[in-house]
Structure 1
Amino acid sequence: MLDIAFKDFKAKKGRTAMCIIGVMVCVLLIGTVNLVLYEMESGLKGDLGTVNGKLYFEKNGTSFPPYASIIPESLGNEVLDRSEVNHDKSTKALFAPIQGSNDTRYTMIVGVTPGKEQAFIENTTVTGKSSLVGESDNAVIMGSEAAKTYNATVGSDITVQGNQYHVIGIMKQVGTGWPLTIDSSMVMSLPHAQSVMEMPSLISTVIIIPSGSIDSAETSLQDAYPSYSIYSQNDTQKTLDDNLSQIRIFMNMISLFIFVVSVIIIMIVMMMSVKERTREIGTMRAIGTRKRSILALIIYESLILSLIGGVLGIILMSPTFSILGVLMGASDVNFLSFNIPSAIVTQVLVIVFIIGTFSGLIPAYLATRISPIDALRYE
């Protein structure tokens, strides 16, 4: 049956090519939409990991990153002195986003107490030095994305919004998709961050490493400071879900629409094929070909068209996503180096299989209904 299917493709090259292109475009769009959503989820889930095992003491109504929170530094000192807080590992912190002059993405200034950088960067691998202790006031540890934005290397001096910084370390990339806060950060001493941002005696949050149970520490601190928020990993998960819920619905609607269009395209082509081959199918029936074989033939053709278009769509997903990145302002795009996650490839292949099967069902059923006598009379 497969040889008959390929013979029909050769005989109707124009129709076959148009069908493959249509499926390719549809699969490309579905894959790119899902890839964008995957990258966004990856970035936000990375921020969820950044908060894991910690509490962020901040102003009510803020979230992560807590740049919208402004609290007195004296209050931060008070929180650090509480028994629920591991004073040696916790730190006051100032978060302040700044816009790069050569990039549309923001960089997050993160001011922390020198010697307590691990409260924010945890065990992230750092090339160069991972501590600000003993360094100059303008020393910074750069996140991977921030380093790319300012072409920073270990030991180099960079200028950001008129201020000069000395790069002592660069963190290895943490996220696998949408830039994370830690990847876009520029970690410096808290006093210098306060000076640069003109926010003396003010902080955004206290990054708390609990001295005991994280749940009991959260409850105790919330009871002691009811007018402030104790932001935990559960709160980050809620923020992630809230941010993605509407986007996920919108993306899924787009994917569903494209899926329906793909099914209709192949169905129309296969129905045209059945109509054009009425005499041929009738002859096959007259010489004893079973209905099941005719059904399989049409579905095979539909699946082959879907598979060819799907594979081409997957191949083109990487450069398409890179082009999308350029349009969104990315300046360091390599059109050939982006690796598509296996989960997305598997998802697209399943969609291709479903498209090929469903779009071939009706034409295949119509083919089995062709009467040999009527077919031989067909002109």
Structure 2
Amino acid sequence: MVSTSPMVDSKSNMYQNAEAQSLLSGLPLQGSIGQDSQHLNPSSRHAWNSAAERNVCLLERALLGESVACLAKAFSMSKTAVHGGLMEARVHRLTEADVAYIDSDEFRQRNAESVICDTMPGLDEATVGRVPTGLPGYLGELYRVPLLTKKHEQYYFRRMNFRKFQFSELRNELDVNKPSARIVSKLESLLAEITDIKNLLIRSNLRLVVSIAKRYLKANTGFFELVSDGNISLIRAVEKFDYARGFKFSTYASWAILKNFARSVPAEQQRQDRFRTGNDEVFAQSSEQKGSFFIDEHMNLTQRAVIQEMMQELDGREQKVIACRFGLSAGEQPETLEQVGNRLGVTKERVRQIEVRTLEKLRRIAERRAFEIPGF
């Protein structure tokens, strides 16, 4: 498991339950299930469509702490059959797990384990942000999750992809018809660590989604729906981020979230707000901002200069669309798709298509030129 940083909550791993781990390893178990579960008899109350469905239920209840003896009684099975069903369910979960990873030659080096999974540098640099006043409870909790520095990001993405590589290689050795308990246990351990790291990276960047969602917020807009939509983009970004290219994850994720919002948020719901790359705690990790969480901010001059430099690689119409849509020109306010369309003599749908394509182009420019947008 990830033991090099207190920021990884190993307790969230379902395989950390001592009793469940013992059961799944095929060792004798002591104890019994709770009162709420003892009266349930699935064999008499549910007709299973298949043995696989029954085995999934067995595993879920085993992970909650039910003993083999209690499961055998509840499901009208022998203890041997329960162990067999649990193993089949475990193997099925492992074979179905999606572990696509960013490959690297260093994963195949003899000393890869010690080099990649050594103690993470700069643990004392992790910062917990101040919770802004007037923030809803759920959003306030986001500020209690330590922000990751670039070193933290590199460490965790590198380690997560290394564990995925190990998982993929070891899974190739798994005989699903006659599974090795040792291989199954090792695969479960790797998968649990991968999940822990992935969840950490997601939690540490949820404020990024909230900040970007505010740009599209209007009085009649479902803010939490925007955040939920942005969270999906964040999760995908965690899966696809190539840490070896050297730029910050927040930069990559921001473009992905912006691109998604540009596609999914109707023009009439988009907020008339200055295009902000953010001076709040989501982007400027060391700053302590004052005032309400929902107070609008202006993009600082350094951020504007970097984005303007990237825009030099765009053609005239792309520059015009981005400048108008996000109010990049001095003194200008963002315009709706319809307003920009009227300027250019095209439909608002055409403007939306140009915007989506151009945001993707800007993201590639930022990656290729290793731009660090201050605050991202």
**TM-score category (smaller protein):** under 0.3
Greater relative CO, 1 or 2 (CA 8 Å, sep 6+): 1
Larger fraction in strand: 1
Tell me the TM-score normalised to structure 2 length.
0.22
Q: Which one has the largest radius of gyration? A: 1
Tell me the TM-score normalised to structure 1 length.
0.21
